[in-house]
Amino acid sequence: MGASADRRNGFRRWNEAGNEHVPPTDVRIVTSDGQSIPAHSTVLASSSSVLERMLDRSRILHILGVPHDSVVAFVRLLYSSRSATSAREAKEAVERHGMALLALSHAYRVRWLKRRCEAGLAAWLSAARAMDVLKLARLCDAPRLHQRCLRLVAEDFAAVQESEGWRFVQKHDPALELEVLQFLQEAAQRRKRWKRERADQAMYRQLSEAMDCLQHIYTEGCTDVWPHNSRRPDNPCMSFSTCEGLQLLIRHYATCGRKLQAATKTCTHCKRMWQLFRLHSSLCDRPASCRIPLCKQFKEKMQEEKVDKTWRLLVKKVATARVMSSLADRKVPQVVHKSWMRCRGTRSGHVHHVQSSLSWLR
């Protein structure tokens, strides 16, 4: 512990004194090809706890398994870690030696460099290198880079299959091949589930809109759908297609001689209108004064009979869609709007965060 403290204090004094008082090198790093790199123990020990423990045993460090140029870039980044040029130098080094630097920063626990390597490799990832980077991400405990590789494989698996990395995995790493194939299957299932949920949400929104139009037709007397007709009504409905379709269903239901047999599926249009009346009754909280036909009768019938779970779930989903629709149509309060306008003078990232936070009010 005494030697380690002396090295850290020596590096601190070196930084305070400036580069004109650089002491002579006292460590030699040997790479895989036998070449050596001179270095200072104070720099290495202050940058990596692993290198610090190695220096307690020997002044000759062997860094093997990566090219000599990559080790040189690694040592240079350790020297520049506390300088203003570290960000630029790290970016250039990651572009040239990204995979080797990720392995070195993981092995010697240089966390700031490991984060830069993960971000750089993720930004420059391609389908041809996806499997090679994926294998390295597993070995170096880089979960974000690991997930980025898997997502790229799922997005362009045809191109990944043409790469040498995929052919190597198929021959020598069946566990990784199985992991990739399972991820592809789960991704396909997620896409199907997402599409199904989107379709269901669209259906619930349409039913919510139909309930609003039904209320509009029977309470405000909307008998014309503008602008399809030449004359604009006093209270034109803004949901043209839904309102017009409902009016056609209502006219058919009023004149159809088989509407009393709707429950037996004799008339498809009447059965659909019958279900809309029932859905409205399930959502209506004032059946006694409601002007929509059969609202009170359906409400009394539902109280007498046990409603099945599927219908209750549908009513709940439509009610939720109505609430979300009303929130989306709500205007931003004046106080919030003024506060948001004051924030427009701040930096763009903060403005984007404010806009995202208030988007649900629109």
The confidence score (pLDDT) of residue 348 equals 45
The confidence score (pLDDT) of residue 353 equals 37
43 phi and psi angles, rounded to 5 deg:
-70, -50
Per residue in 265-305, pLDDT tens?
A: 568 888 888 888 888 888 888 877 888 888 888 888 877 77
* Percent of the chain whose predicted confidence (pLDDT) is above 70: 74
- Three-class SS of residue 37? strand
28 phi and psi angles, rounded to 5 deg:
-125, 125
Per residue in 46-77, pLDDT tens?
A: 889 999 999 989 889 999 989 999 999 999 88
Those residues with Cβ within 8 angstroms of residue 258's Cβ, 6 or more apart along the chain or in another chain? 266, 267, 270
Average pLDDT, rounded, for the chain:
78
Residue 140 has pLDDT above 50, yes or no: yes
Q: What is the b/e burial string over 219-232, where b = at least 16 CB atoms within 10 angstroms of the residue's CB?
A: eeebebbbeeeeee
Q: Are the C-beta atoms of 45 and 2 separated by less than 8 Å?
A: no
Q: What is the DSSP string of 39-51?
A: E-HHHHHHH-HHH
Per residue in 7-40, pLDDT tens?
A: 555 445 555 445 555 678 889 999 998 999 999 8
In order of their start, the domains of the chain are 23-122 (3.30.710.10), 197-227+236-329 (1.20.1020.10)
172 compared with 224, residue with greater pLDDT: 172
The confidence score (pLDDT) of residue 20 equals 53
- Three-class SS of residue 28? strand
338 compared with 211, residue with greater pLDDT: 211
Residue 334 has pLDDT above 60, yes or no: no
What is the pTM for the complete model shown?
A: 0.59
Per residue in 141-191, pLDDT tens?
A: 999 999 999 999 998 999 999 999 999 999 999 999 999 999 999 988 988
Res. 351 pLDDT band, cuts 50 70 90: very low
The confidence score (pLDDT) of residue 54 equals 92
Residue 224 has pLDDT above 60, yes or no: no
List the structure tokens of 171: 């021959």
The confidence score (pLDDT) of residue 359 equals 35
